[in-house]
A and B are shown apart, each in its own frame.
Chain A
Amino acid sequence: MRFTINGRLHEVEPDIRTSLLDLCREHLGLTGPKKGCDHGQCGACTILVNGRRVNSCLSLAVMHQEDEIVTIEGLGEPGSLHPMQQAFLHHDGYQCGYCTPGQICSAVGMLDEIAKGWPSHASTDLEQVSLDDAEISERMSGNLCRCAAYPNIVDAIREVAGADARTGSDVGA
């Protein structure tokens, strides 16, 4: 099988049952994507496939041979961090660091969704999407963080998005 990950072509012959996550972690030495639950319930495995954020644990590797795949390693590295990585660093948007690669990939994918005008459960108006804290929280709810860096994650993403978000909540909206 052939895979393009972080711009590099890999040829490997894993077990047909191998998930995209395990392909990265066990076969390609890309251990940035994390396995927290292996069932799409935590988001630690989030990567970008053709620019879209997905749970790599619920993806069969064999189904993704034509796709452009980017993991956290492809976003940046120490010394040349991606702006989102830099913002997580600055705002302490993590503690143990285990969910962090998934959070960051998710955040990058999420901002792209907002740029496309995609609404969310938090959107008051489905046709006019704004970026406030409630929107960020809702859209990032697919990434669990047990250390609970959520407020800092929201701060980091708001900074990268350049949004002048309202703080405080808008319950019931």
Chain B
Amino acid sequence: MKLFDYQRADTPEQAAASAVAPGTRFIAGGTNLLDLMKLQVETPERLVDVSRLELAKIETREDGGVTIGAMVPNSDLAADPHVIRNYPVLSRALLAGATGQLRNKATTGGNLLQRTRCYYFYDVATPCNKREPGSGCSAIGGVNRILAILGTSDQCIATHPSDMAVAMRALDATIVTVKADGDRRRIPMAEFHRLPGDRPHIDTILEQGELITHVELPSPPPGGRHAYRKVRDRASYAFALVSVAAVIEVEDGRIAKAALAFGGLAHKPWRDPEVEHILIGQTPGKALFEAAADALVRDARGFGHNDFKIPLARRTLIATLQDLTGGR
């Protein structure tokens, strides 16, 4: 860890303003940032401590949706009665991630900003375009069992490690921020995380100094059936190889709505309108689910060790849909 200046912010606006200089990072739970700083994968010159900002509330809005403060710990969010009742996919996703003690520290905002767990990103002794632009991707042609099969580029095949973000993608969350100049903006989850392209060092569309203050969830769909299914190498305490967040509404024997997001497959929580389009309006059944799963992996590309993720994602999606709809 390199030396850094440390300051504590009193308000979100002040935090954003004081983080406008390059090399400044916000710190809240610190569970990923400190991890990476120790390895000097991250080397901020200044840390702005936002952990004590009054952003730790979960509030129900008049429209029935909820607004989650960016400092709400993952544990509290997962255990919130309103979230459990109306957004069980989010509780399930949170509880599938990390461990009790990590969830107690990790925050809602920080979870969205987790960086990839690619082995090579984590090791300054190896080239990595995400860590050091232009140095090359060691994972392509290297050990890539845990890495991406969708939305990759020849620069980077990293995956986003969050479970929570996958559920939020399925729930069409909106991320609320305050910028260094005091402006606020609302960013749909769909636009928040990037694909690697030729700039894999940039994970999200946030600007320097832009602080996440809240995450808004739209009012819950009535009658929606929720599931979060995570496939991993250990029974607990392991990142997803493949995960599926699903919210399905069935009306009169047909799928009325389907929101499906995937973890472990791409540089961002993956969602493919085509997959949902195939399902909507149809009677649940195996052939239908297979068609949707085929669409999901149509453009998937493996890199050797991770080829198995293609059939795994396919099978996991089909089984999740079968579970939620009873369609066989």
Residues of A within 8 A of B (CB): 16-17, 19, 38-40, 43, 46, 52-55, 58-60, 62-63, 106, 109-110, 113, 116-121, 123, 126-127, 137-143
Q: Is the CB of B84 within 8 A of A142?
A: no
B35 at the interface (CB under 8 A from A): yes
Q: Is the CB of A43 within 8 A of B101?
A: yes
Chain B residues within 8 Å of A62, by CB: 6
* A58-B30, A63-B27, A116-B79 known; A121+B95 contact, CB < 8 A: yes
Q: Is the CB of A142 within 8 A of B4?
A: no
Chain A residue nearest to B238 (CB atoms) is A141
Chain B residue nearest to A106 (CB atoms) is B101
Q: Is the CB of B104 within 8 A of A52?
A: yes
Which of A55, A119, A139, A141 is in CB contact (< 8 Å) with B79?
A119
Shortest CB–CB separation between residue B254 and chain A, in angstroms?
Answer: 28
Contact mask B94-114 → A, CB, 8 Å, 1/0?
011011111011000000000
Chain A residues within 8 Å of B38, by CB: 38-39
Q: Could you list 14 further interchain pairs (A-B, Cβ under 8 angstroms) beyond the known A60-B6, A141-B236? A: A46-B101, A52-B75, A53-B100, A54-B104, A58-B35, A63-B30, A106-B101, A120-B100, A121-B236, A126-B84, A138-B236, A141-B235, A142-B98, A143-B99
Shortest CB–CB separation between residue B230 and chain A, in angstroms?
Answer: 8
Chain B residue nearest to A15 (CB atoms) is B3
Chain A residue nearest to B36 (CB atoms) is A39
Chain B residue nearest to A110 (CB atoms) is B100
Q: Which of B1-43 contact A (CB under 8 A)?
A: 1, 3-4, 6, 27, 29-31, 34-35, 38
Q: Is the CB of B78 within 8 A of A119?
A: yes
Shortest CB–CB separation between residue B138 and chain A, in angstroms?
Answer: 20
Chain B residue nearest to A113 (CB atoms) is B100
Which of B34, B81, B88, B237 is in CB contact (< 8 Å) with A58?
B34
Residues of B within 8 A of A (CB): 1, 3-4, 6, 27, 29-31, 34-35, 38, 47, 49, 51, 75, 78-79, 81, 84-85, 88, 91-92, 95-96, 98-102, 104-105, 234-237
Q: Is the CB of B105 within 8 A of A119?
A: no
* A39-B38, A110-B100, A121-B96 known; A16+B236 contact, CB < 8 A: no
* A16-B3, A54-B105, A60-B27 known; A127+B237 contact, CB < 8 A: no
Chain A residues within 8 Å of B79, by CB: 113, 116-119
The A contact surface, by secondary structure, is loop
Q: Is the CB of A120 within 8 A of B95?
A: yes
* A54-B104, A63-B30, A119-B84 known; A141+B99 contact, CB < 8 A: yes
Q: How far apart sit A109 and B101, CA to CA, in the bound complex (Å)?
A: 9
Q: How far apart sit A54 and B28, CA to CA, in the bound complex (Å)?
A: 14
Which of A17, A54, A126 is in CB contact (< 8 Å) with B1?
A17
Chain A residues within 8 Å of B98, by CB: 142
Chain B residues within 8 Å of A43, by CB: 99, 101
Shortest CB–CB separation between residue A146 and chain B, in angstroms?
Answer: 14
Q: Give 10 closest A-B pairs by Cβ, nearest first.
A: A142-B99, A141-B236, A118-B79, A121-B95, A53-B101, A126-B84, A52-B104, A17-B1, A141-B237, A58-B31
Shortest CB–CB separation between residue A33 and chain B, in angstroms?
Answer: 12
Which of A16, A126, A140 is in CB contact (< 8 Å) with B4?
A16
Which of A60, A109, A119 is in CB contact (< 8 Å) with B30?
A60
Chain A residues within 8 Å of B34, by CB: 19, 58-60
Q: Is the CB of B51 within 8 A of A119?
A: no
Which of B4, B49, B88, B101 is in CB contact (< 8 Å) with A54?
B101
Chain B residues within 8 Å of A16, by CB: 3-4, 6
Q: How far apart sit A43 and B105, CA to CA, in the bound complex (Å)?
A: 13
Q: How far apart sit A19 and B51, CA to CA, in the bound complex (Å)?
A: 16
Chain A residues within 8 Å of B234, by CB: 141
Which of B30, B95, B100 is in CB contact (< 8 Å) with A59?
B30
Chain A residue nearest to B94 (CB atoms) is A121
What are 18 of the A-B contact pairs (CB < 8 Å)? A17-B1, A19-B34, A38-B38, A43-B101, A53-B100, A55-B105, A58-B29, A58-B34, A58-B35, A60-B34, A106-B101, A118-B75, A118-B79, A121-B95, A127-B85, A138-B235, A139-B100, A143-B99
Q: Is the CB of A55 within 8 A of B75?
A: no
Chain B residues within 8 Å of A19, by CB: 34
Which of B75, B96, B234 has the largest number of chain A CB atoms within 10 A? B75
Chain A residues within 8 Å of B47, by CB: 60
Chain B residues within 8 Å of A143, by CB: 99
Q: How far apart sit A121 and B105, CA to CA, in the bound complex (Å)?
A: 18
* A16-B6, A118-B78, A121-B236 known; A53+B95 contact, CB < 8 A: no
